[in-house]
Structure 1
Amino acid sequence: MSTPPSSAPALRFGVNYTPRRGWFHAWHDFDPGLAREDLAQIAGLGLDHVRVFHLWPLLQPNRALVRASAVDQLVRLVDLAGECGLDVLVDGVQGHLSSFDFYPEWTRSWHHRNVFTDPEAIEAQALLLRTLGRALSGHPHLIGLQLGNELNNLVEHNPVTVAEVDHYLDTLLGAARDGLGEARGLVTHSAYDAAWYGDDHPFTPEASARKGDLTTVHPWVFSADCARRYGPRSPEVHHLAEYGTELAAAYATDPARPVWVQETGAPEPHIPAADAPDFARATLLNAAGCAHLWGVTWWCSHDVDRSLADFPELEYTLGLFDSTGRPKPIAEALSTTVAELRTAAVRPAPRATALVLDCTPSTRSVSGPGGAFFDAWMRLRQEGTRPAVVLAERVEDTAYLAARGITELIEGK
């Protein structure tokens, strides 16, 4: 007898909001009317949420000052999204966006502070998150508050140890929760792929999978040269978000912990424009085959206008809409696939077969594109198996395996 489908909540589908006019520099001259146009376009695709970002230097130009007017802008954007029928996740410390790093001046030059280890810098970020949480608390369309976007991108200029990262995350997650108080809302954090398969990276899989209310993953096809290594139409590329979801589930101590594919996209030339609609469809359908998936949030809503200089080439074409606001073929593919998944409304059964991952922090790359474990998982998937992932340390934990519905273990290669 087959296992019945999961009764988990319906999947969420959304997009990371990039303002069409001015990119995130639009916060310097925030225009609610223009933002509402963008958000209405997003809602018109049938998506149900957006993830939004303000800029850290504009929110907190002094360590002891969080600008009320900038916070009000962010609250206004959340309300505008709600008026369009969209729920909102707010990222707090930006931090890093689309290859640019944004630091307040009190962290730089003569005033340089390590943002991960300096006690006063950590407390300043906690102040920002508490302030944002209080301002957003109670807003009916708020999904929650995230610490910031891919904060581990900042480690090159802010050296940090694993223990210091854990302290940093624990402190800021606590501050975000304090700010939201008793209000409904997730408290989360995010990291780019090095946290999952970068050898000795100080942001660890355990931190991503065990801290905060759910796990977020950002499975990008350019990480570890995945698309160039295997090809833009390859199974490895089409199943990358699914794989990232299952890898994240393996590191969680709670077998029921949800995983959010919070960023994935079709960057040219890694994914040629002609292949982008098929890539989007395959990514959503395959990720939806994970029983513990919370949802998928595409990167991003609107292309960066080419009048803006110095972005990496791939950043100019990642949108569902071009820089004039016209929907691209990938937008139609995404919208249609989301509608199909919502109509089907059947969540998959747990995966009974799992591939065993045995690695150390220094050999974590075996689980990334080009690694032996990654390739073994993809071979199983192409052969028709729907493999989960189990850490070697959990293979004797019968209660844990039963909770995940796993009945067969295969040694990773």
Structure 2
Amino acid sequence: MRFGVNYTPTRGWFHHWLDFDLDDIRADLDQIAALGLDHIRVFPLWPVFQPNRTLIRPKAVEQLIRLVDAAGERGLDVNVDGLQGHLSSFDFLPAWTTTWHRRNLFTDPDVVEAQAEYLRVLAAALADRPHFLGMTVGNEINQFSGDPHPDPDRVDPVQAGHWLRRMLDACEKGAPGRPHLHASYDAAWYDGAHPFTPAHSARLGAMTAVHSWVFDGTAQRHGHAGTATEQHAAYLIELSKAWAVDPARPVWLQEVGAPAPHIPPGHAAAFTEATVRNALDCPDVWGVTWWCSHDVDRALADFPELEYGLGLFTNDRRIKPAGEVIARIIRTWLESGRPAEPRRTALVVDAGAEEEAPYRSVCSPGGAYFEAWMRLASRGVRAASVLSQRAGDAEYLAGRGVTEVLTVDQVR
């Protein structure tokens, strides 16, 4: 079990690449390591690193290496997100993909080739670093592929899958044998019209990434302390396994946080504890990576209000109650933690065709499947998820440790 944090620099947020200061970074990393965390996820800004289609700035790559080395000196492994892409409501796209040079991010041959080369170069630069975990293709770059993005680069599921395979192959070419993966926001699980699908998330890359945010309608519907809110991350972990071909495929809870006002600041510590402990009750979890390390500096303008206070530390590096909770959970786990037992009861999800999942909206907050799963959770049932196509496959169910299969109608 790995415990980590998404690293948000105290000085300059992710714009720190423009004014790179290793001393400030070291001070941030010292605090992160002191909590007992063992890894960070970092975010190069794509336009800063590749401002022209044929220019990947050597100095920017060197700065990334120095950050990874500084983390390694503190016992922190590093996962690197490549295509930023999208962060905290802001888009970061290089000029050669927009306006006068507008080209589809996922299908234009020149753009795709440049993206692949960029990911390969970053991976290759870090391939010999022992504390380099691997690449994530990008941070929720699927949000560019459809609504509600104001200017989407539309693709279909086949094209999305082809693009993901191309990007993952580039990461593997740069750093062979590392656990490279991709990450989508929850439209991949909840929106039947979205071109990035559950099968993409659960079958491509070394592991499945889950990003759990309760402002998706969960907290609004169930309240800040409701079962569904505290179980949302665990639900997505288990839901992802329904589409996995490998019953033991690892799942990384790569982003989860306590967004105000959906989670009131005074309740953030309790939400953090409940969310992480429920996630640890899921089998095959690779790790939990909190969003984020430090609050965003309020001198920076135009962030959505909830983005400013998500850190385990304040922007002036004071630990917050949620940070104390994470440190305590890690200590307890190191002393007595053990892998979660299999979930014996599985709830059947019928989202239509396995690859496209056109009816996956049943899995979203308020959907029939989501509410049935949460109804079981409120009764203390540790429910797994299984596709309707496999609900009668005895060998598959046995491989997951499932001994009881329920339908949504039975739970009603």
Aligned to 2:162: 167
The one of 335, 339, 347 aligned to 1:347: 339
Distance apart, 1:383 and its partner CA: 1.0
Distance apart, 1:53 and its partner CA: 0.5
TM-score normalised over the length of structure 1? 0.95
Q: Secondary structure of the residue that 1:47 maps to in structure 2?
A: coil
Distance apart, 1:396 and its partner CA: 2.1
Contact conserved, 1:48 with 1:85, CA < 8 A, in 2?
Answer: yes
Q: Secondary structure of the residue that 1:300 maps to in structure 2?
A: coil
The one of 393, 396, 399 aligned to 2:392: 396
- 1:3-402 matches, cutoff 5 A: 11-155=1-145, 156=149, 157-181=152-176, 184-223=177-216, 225-360=217-352, 361-402=357-398
Q: CA RMSD in A?
A: 0.9
Moved more, 209-218 or 396-405: 396-405
Contact conserved, 2:80 with 2:134, CA < 8 A, in 1?
Answer: yes
Aligned to 1:3: none
Q: Could you tell me how far apart the structure 1 residues matched to 2:75 and 2:338 are?
A: 24
Q: Secondary structure of the residue that 1:186 maps to in structure 2?
A: coil
Q: Could you tell me how far apart the structure 2 residues matched to 1:50 and 1:318 are?
A: 16
Q: Secondary structure of the residue that 2:212 maps to in structure 1?
A: coil
Aligned to 1:6: none
Distance apart, 1:220 and its partner CA: 0.6
Distance apart, 1:329 and its partner CA: 1.1
Q: Match of 1:35, as an amino acid?
A: I
TM-score normalised over the length of structure 2? 0.96
Q: Match of 1:170, as an amino acid?
A: R
Q: What does the per-residue CA deviation read over 1:8-56, in whole Å, with 9 as the maximum and x for residues that have no partner? A: xxx1010000000110011101001100100111111111100000100
Q: What does the per-residue CA deviation read over 1:345-395, in whole Å, with 9 as the maximum and x for residues that have no partner? A: 211211111000012333211111111111111111111211100000011
Q: Match of 1:290, as an amino acid?
A: C
Q: Match of 1:351, as an amino acid?
A: R
Contact conserved, 2:350 with 2:359, CA < 8 A, in 1?
Answer: no
Q: Secondary structure of the residue that 2:256 maps to in structure 1?
A: coil
Contact conserved, 1:259 with 1:294, CA < 8 A, in 2?
Answer: yes
Contact conserved, 2:5 with 2:39, CA < 8 A, in 1?
Answer: yes
Contact conserved, 1:193 with 1:219, CA < 8 A, in 2?
Answer: yes
Q: Secondary structure of the residue that 1:174 maps to in structure 2?
A: helix
Q: Match of 1:193, as an amino acid?
A: D
Contact conserved, 2:349 with 2:386, CA < 8 A, in 1?
Answer: yes
Q: Secondary structure of the residue that 2:248 maps to in structure 1?
A: coil
Q: Could you tell me how far apart the structure 2 residues matched to 1:342 and 1:189 are?
A: 28
Q: Secondary structure of the residue that 1:390 maps to in structure 2?
A: strand
Distance apart, 1:342 and its partner CA: 2.2
Q: What does the per-residue CA deviation read over 1:240-271, in whole Å, with 9 as the maximum and x for residues that have no partner? A: 11111000111101101000000000011010
Distance apart, 1:229 and its partner CA: 0.9
Distance apart, 1:199 and its partner CA: 2.2
Q: Could you tell me how far apart the structure 2 residues matched to 1:362 and 1:166 are?
A: 16
Q: Could you tell me how far apart the structure 2 residues matched to 1:323 and 1:240 are?
A: 27
Gaps of 5+ in 2: none
Q: Match of 1:372, as an amino acid?
A: A
Q: Secondary structure of the residue that 1:314 maps to in structure 2?
A: helix
Contact conserved, 1:220 with 1:264, CA < 8 A, in 2?
Answer: yes
Q: What does the per-residue CA deviation read over 1:306-329, in whole Å, with 9 as the maximum and x for residues that have no partner? A: 100000000000111111111111
Q: Could you tell me how far apart the structure 2 residues matched to 1:341 and 1:208 are?
A: 28
Contact conserved, 1:304 with 1:317, CA < 8 A, in 2?
Answer: yes
Q: Could you tell me how far apart the structure 2 residues matched to 1:201 and 1:343 are?
A: 43
Q: Could you tell me how far apart the structure 2 residues matched to 1:116 and 1:285 are?
A: 37
Q: Secondary structure of the residue that 2:183 maps to in structure 1?
A: coil
Distance apart, 1:189 and its partner CA: 0.3
Q: Secondary structure of the residue that 1:124 maps to in structure 2?
A: helix
Q: Secondary structure of the residue that 2:380 maps to in structure 1?
A: coil
Gaps of 5+ in 1: 1-10
Q: Could you tell me how far apart the structure 2 residues matched to 1:305 and 1:177 are?
A: 36
Q: Match of 1:196, as an amino acid?
A: W
1:410 equivalent to 2:406? Answer yes
Contact conserved, 2:6 with 2:291, CA < 8 A, in 1?
Answer: yes
Contact conserved, 2:348 with 2:386, CA < 8 A, in 1?
Answer: yes
Contact conserved, 1:358 with 1:412, CA < 8 A, in 2?
Answer: no
Aligned residues: 400
Q: Secondary structure of the residue that 1:402 maps to in structure 2?
A: helix
Q: What does the per-residue CA deviation read over 1:65-90, in whole Å, with 9 as the maximum and x for residues that have no partner? A: 11111111111111010111111101
Contact conserved, 1:359 with 1:366, CA < 8 A, in 2?
Answer: yes
Q: Match of 1:160, as an amino acid?
A: V
